Chains A and B, each alone.
Chain A
Amino acid sequence: MQGEYIIKQISIFSENKPGRLAAIAEALEKSNVNIYAFSIAEANSFGVVRALVDKPDDARSVLEKLGFAVQFTDVIAVRMKDQPGGLHEVAQILGDAGINIEYAYAYSGREAAVLILRVSQAGEAISKIQAAGGSLLRESDLG
């Protein structure tokens, strides 16, 4: 079952100006949503805030109520060895399979470092990583 390894990332359109991230964070705090990982991608006047959270649907609805444009995006999360060479291992598998990483960010989880990837072909990436003995996270494994 590859589908269980597809994780819902929440993507929020935000203008590139002071106070916008605070507004997003405040909203999530008030509705008791925990953020596992997040990153910001910037274009010139705006950006996209990407986050993995414990209650994506709640997060989406509270942000939309505040007027934000919000979408879910499919990503995968891979356990990395928290030591030199950890990232290399994962990146090599995808590189060899000709799968492009559109963007990635990472966080240090309780048991291992976690790499979050947006790739061109998610299904194929999952099977290649599994075939190479890599370990993927389900949504319930996050945190």
Chain B
Amino acid sequence: MHSWDPRIEEMPKAELEKVQYRLLKTLVYRLYSFSDFYHARMKEAKVHPDDIKTLADIRLLPFMYKSDLRDNYPDKLFCAPQNDLVRYHVSSGTTGKPTVVGYTQKDLDLWTTSLARALTSCGIGKGDVIQVSYGYGLFTGGLGLHYGAERIGATVLPTSVGNTERQIELMQDLKATAIACTPSYLIHIGEAAERMGVSIQKDTQLRSAIIGAEPWSETMRTRIYETMGVRAYDIYGTSEISGPMFSECSEQKGIHIWGDIAIPEIIDPETGEPLPPGEHGELVMTVLQKEALPMIRYRIGDLTQILDEPCPCGRTHPRIQRISGRVDDMLIIRGINVFPSAVEHAILSIPELSGHFMIEVDRKGSLDDMLVRVEMAPEALSDKINDLINIKRKVEHTLKNALNVAVQVDLSEPGSLPRFEGKAKRVIDRRVF
């Protein structure tokens, strides 16, 4: 399978590490000099750019957390002049304010290049028709994959999310050969197609799927291949590091993290100590060439491990295993990150509710279904069903706006939801991946 940029992708490991060291050193110097935030952090950690003498010295550098983004909302962490920013993306935060990521033209180019490499490594290229069924707009999935697919010269069909029957019709009529979406949506498409009497395997040209933004498994991969005849490739990224950036190659054995773009580390989430390849822990990312919102040792919160042995595909860049879980209570609902704290924040803003709530997550068919049970405040009760329906709608609307994902809402009687002493356990997740 050919590479998008063989010179870089197949560079000998020792040489790649030299490139990484040089880029890391430049990054650290730049941020120490130009970023108030990183300067203060490095001072606090008593580390100076001169202390970084080898690639392994990256572990001397302080971590960066999601809370740093929140505390510096919206743009206090940006290291590029306002004039050089060409894009903002916004994702859900842990409370009321979202996480904002700015991009320079170079940031967009690198993101697109990263995806061009990734898509090529899955065997997709000019002549392919890629249906991009990730959400467009502020969510990075849609525009990210869109630009990547355009870069490799494929035909882009920007269907965005929703309207599954129409998606299947277009897939069939416009002869889509590849699709980018969440794993659960792909399975949902398969099931909906079956109900429509359409066999993805026989009646469409679809042969590969770039799926990510939520956890999935080898079992699902097998199921997708057996029921739809589609080879599924895992794609990884979060908006903080630009968006979806890295994917499996045609070997389907771990996700290649382009070494000239990012350095992955695995740490013990409790102690922060680096763990060796093959050991399971929290993924920490340093993004080497990001201009607008640089990331040194960002604690993404995903659990995985680094795979050390060389990949048979010939690419020399490090690989990580598929994500196995989270270190925090973040939920992923239909590809969207949802923090229970954001649900709480939204519910407390609605006077008709008591403030107590429970979150129940299930798989309905193949799609995630999040139910939020809320309690009516006694003074909001009404004898008209329509009043109750309107309160329910208001809660649904407020939650949808806060979380960017539609959730079900159930009104419960005052006093009926569990009360917690100590740490509340408000989330019941019944999904099996």
Closest to A42 in B: B385
Q: Does A83 contact B (CB under 8 A)?
A: no
B397 to chain A, nearest CB (A): 16
Q: Does B389 contact A (CB under 8 A)?
A: yes
Closest to A16 in B: B386
Closest to A47 in B: B385
Chain B hits for A41, CB < 8 A = 385
Please encode chain B, from 23 to 63, with 1 for each CB lying within 8 Å of some chain A CB and 0 for all others. 00000000000000000000000000000000000000000
Chain A hits for B385, CB < 8 A = 41-43
- Interchain CA distance A44-B386 in the complex, whole Å: 6
Chain A hits for B386, CB < 8 A = 42, 44
Give the number of A-B contacts (CB < 8 Å): 6
Closest to B385 in A: A42
Number of residues from A at the complex interface, CB < 8 A: 4
Number of residues from B at the complex interface, CB < 8 A: 3
- Interchain CA distance A58-B385 in the complex, whole Å: 32
- Interchain CA distance A43-B386 in the complex, whole Å: 7
B237 to chain A, nearest CB (A): 43
Chain B hits for A44, CB < 8 A = 386, 389
- Interchain CA distance A2-B397 in the complex, whole Å: 47
The residues in B between 115 and 152 inclusive whose CB is less than 8 angstroms from any CB of A are none
- Interchain CA distance A76-B385 in the complex, whole Å: 24
- Interchain CA distance A41-B389 in the complex, whole Å: 14
Please encode chain A, from 39 to 71, with 1 for each CB lying within 8 Å of some chain B CB and 0 for all others. 001111000000000000000000000000000
The residues in B between 372 and 389 inclusive whose CB is less than 8 angstroms from any CB of A are 385-386, 389
- Interchain CA distance A69-B385 in the complex, whole Å: 23
Chain B hits for A43, CB < 8 A = 385
Chain B hits for A42, CB < 8 A = 385-386
- Interchain CA distance A42-B389 in the complex, whole Å: 11
- Interchain CA distance A43-B389 in the complex, whole Å: 9
A74 to chain B, nearest CB (A): 23
The residues in B between 240 and 282 inclusive whose CB is less than 8 angstroms from any CB of A are none
Chain A hits for B389, CB < 8 A = 44
- Interchain CA distance A44-B384 in the complex, whole Å: 11
A1 to chain B, nearest CB (A): 37
- Interchain CA distance A39-B385 in the complex, whole Å: 14
- Interchain CA distance A42-B385 in the complex, whole Å: 7
- Residues of B at under 8 Å CB distance from A? 385-386, 389
Nearest first, the 3 A-B pairs at minimum CB distance are A42-B385, A44-B386, A42-B386
For this complex, 6 residue pairs linking A to B, each with C-beta atoms less than 8 Å apart, are: A41-B385, A42-B385, A42-B386, A43-B385, A44-B386, A44-B389
